[in-house]
Amino acid sequence: MIGTGYVGLVTGTCFADIGNKVYCVDNDKSKISKLNSGKSTIYEPGLDEIILKNYNAKRLIFTSNLSLAVKNSDIIFICVGTPNKKGTQTVDLHYVFKAIKEVVKFSKNKKILITKSTVPVGTANEIEKILKNMKKKNFDVVSNPEFLREGEAIRDFKYPDRIIVGSNNNRTFKIMERLYQPLINKGAMFFKTSRRSAELIKYASNAFLATKITFINELANLCEKANINIEDVSLGMGSDVRIGSRFLRPGPAYGGSCFPKDTKGLISTGDKFNVNLSIVKTVVKSNQNRVHLHVKRIDKIIGKNFKNKKITFLGVTFKPNTDDMRDSTSLKMIPYVSKKEANVFYYDPTGEKKEFKNIRNCKFSKDIKIACKNADLIILHTEWEEFKSLDFQKLTKNKGVKIYDLRNLYTFSDMLRKKIKYYSIGRPNAN
Ligand code: UDX
């Protein structure tokens, strides 16, 4: 595995756990030394135990020595980052190409070279060109995209709905099938396709899921105005098997390391081929605009004067069971209320965030009670289990505390009974 970020570390560890010998390579020596001390470099439930087990069994090796790893491997997964180029929607592939060039330098015998990272259509062809220019013939380039959700990545690895393998070589398909056999035995579909299809399947899947979320988020806006409960609509729609019930939960706006980046990446692929992917463009815009609705709602809840008002965020990551802050709506909401001179506190089970270190009037507390004490408004930002049955009046010691629930964790009737002013998403009385 080249790259021990989220994808490389989880995938490498899980491949070791199903019996393979795996070298995880990273040029960041501090990461490697942390991993070699038995500690995970990312927050992912259950990962530490599997790392330790396979590390002790000597099936999982962490190293910065690329030459050693390449020499001892038959299959090489490229798991480096593919961010958007700064200020653009195009995908920056320079980490991928750099990794490929380094890998092939050390390789003598035949190897399978796989892009696991999300890469745009045509990348496998580009890699082949690089190999040709370097006069390297001993590689078979494969696309095998990952579909791991943060927080559920181990489960997603072990019980995938499908394994997508893009190749133009039958022998390689057979090797890949053997590699994934333990998962296929448990019911995963093994889908052989062209490399270009495999590359597009990844973007299409993420853009479709982002579209589903955005669709339900816009419907939630309608429900708020039309006195309808969005949850009934999600349930009613989602029980049509053609639609499916998942990814129909309204929320603050989708975030994370994939959907925002991949929707834009797909648009730029459309542009490259002169195809206007207008739906995906609208999804991106709608999602970006969504945070304005939330800050407008906060304005409405607090009123004109934010000064000396204590606003507490519960959870700041883009979703629960991760410490990942990338494209989280809290990155916009917290600076907004801080600018209005509110007293901002936040509590997150994964600890303090560097992103808020320089935000004025913004304090982290590792004790939820301190973060919430005397709060005027609590914003339920991320749906961690521990936020699902809180006694807000007791927690805040403020009978008049208001709640803005961005994840619909509570019911309006329950809050009404407790005489708490409660705001949520897409429900009657949501305003
Ligand atoms: C996603 C994909 O699911 C995964 O297959 C991929 O390869 C990487 O990107 P991830 O980013 O970890 O995984 O999170 P996911 O659980 O998909 O959620 C993404 C965002 O959508 C989050 O901000 C989440 O809060 C939001 N979301 C999800 C909703 O708002 N409503 C939903 O119903 C589902």
The per-residue pLDDT for range 255-307, each reduced to its tens digit, is 999 999 999 999 999 999 999 999 999 999 999 999 999 999 999 999 999 99
- From ligand 1's centre to the CA of 351, what distance in Å? 21
Question: C-alpha angle 201/202/205, rounded to 5°?
Answer: 80
Pick the CATH number of 206-431 from 2.40.128.720, 3.40.710.10, 3.40.50.720, 3.30.530.80: 3.40.50.720
Query: For residues 217 and 222, what is the distance between their CA atoms, to the nearest angstrom?
Result: 9
Which of helix, strand or coil describes residue 91? strand
Which of helix, strand or coil describes residue 143? strand
Task: State the average pLDDT over residues 20-47.
Answer: 95
Among protein residues, the one whose CA lies closest to atom 10 of ligand 1: 149
- From ligand 1's centre to the CA of 283, what distance in Å? 14
Res. 391 pLDDT band, cuts 50 70 90: very high
Do residues 188 and 162 touch, judged by C-beta distance below 8 A? yes
Segment 325-378, tens digit of pLDDT: 999 999 999 999 999 999 999 999 999 999 999 999 999 999 999 999 999 999
pLDDT for 81 equals 93
Per-domain boundaries in the chain: 6-193, 206-431
Among protein residues, the one whose CA lies closest to atom 25 of ligand 1: 319
Minimum-distance ligand 1 atom for the alpha carbon of 247: 33
Among protein residues, the one whose CA lies closest to atom 7 of ligand 1: 147
pLDDT for 276 equals 98
Which of helix, strand or coil describes residue 404? strand
Among protein residues, the one whose CA lies closest to atom 15 of ligand 1: 149
Segment 88-132, tens digit of pLDDT: 889 999 999 999 999 999 988 899 999 999 999 999 999 999 999
Ligand 1 surroundings by CB, under 6 angstroms: 146-150, 206, 209, 213, 247-249, 251, 254-256, 258-259, 318-319
- From ligand 1's centre to the CA of 147, what distance in Å? 10
Query: Does position 416 have pLDDT exceeding 80, yes or no?
Result: yes
Res. 38 pLDDT band, cuts 50 70 90: confident
Residue 386 carries which DSSP code? G
Pick the closest to residue 222 from 200, 241, 250 (CA basis). Answer: 250
Among protein residues, the one whose CA lies closest to atom 21 of ligand 1: 254
Q: Which one of 319, 323, 333 would you pick to mutate in the ligand 1 pocket, going by the greatest count of ligand atoms within 8 A of its CB?
A: 319
Task: State the average pLDDT over residues 410-414.
Answer: 93
Among protein residues, the one whose CA lies closest to atom 31 of ligand 1: 249
Its pTM stands at 0.95
pLDDT for 430 equals 56
Query: Does position 39 have pLDDT exceeding 90, yes or no?
Result: no
Minimum-distance ligand 1 atom for the alpha carbon of 259: 9
pLDDT for 87 equals 86
Residues 6+ apart with CB under 8 A from 36: 55, 62
- From ligand 1's centre to the CA of 319, what distance in Å? 8
Query: For residues 249 and 209, what is the distance between their CA atoms, to the nearest angstrom?
Result: 11
Q: Which one of 163, 254, 329 would you pick to mutate in the ligand 1 pocket, going by the greatest count of ligand atoms within 8 A of its CB?
A: 254
Residue 321 tokens read as: 């069971």
Buried b (16+ CB within 10 A) or exposed e, 332-357: bbbbbbbebebbbbbbbbbeebebbe
Query: For residues 350 and 344, what is the distance between their CA atoms, to the nearest angstrom?
Result: 18
Distances (CA, A) of 233 to 108, 215, 243: 58, 12, 12
Residue 202 carries which DSSP code? H
Residues 6+ apart with CB under 8 A from 334: 313, 316, 344, 346, 356, 359, 362
Residue 308 tokens read as: 């000396």
The CATH architecture one would assign to domain 6-193 is: 3-Layer(aba) Sandwich (3.40)
Query: Does position 429 have pLDDT exceeding 80, yes or no?
Result: no
Task: State the average pLDDT over residues 12-36.
Answer: 97
Q: Give strand pairing partners of 24.
A: 62
pLDDT for 214 equals 98
Instruction: Establish whether domains 6-193 and 206-431 are of one fold.
Output: yes
The residue annotated as part of the active site, out of 14, 79, 258, 362, is 258
Distances (CA, A) of 344 to 320, 335, 379, 422: 21, 9, 11, 19
Which of helix, strand or coil describes residue 372? helix
Question: Is residue 24 flagged as an active site residue?
Answer: no
Q: Which one of 155, 258, 266, 408 would you pick to mutate in the ligand 1 pocket, going by the greatest count of ligand atoms within 8 A of its CB?
A: 258
Query: Does position 223 have pLDDT exceeding 90, yes or no?
Result: yes
Residue 418 carries which DSSP code? T
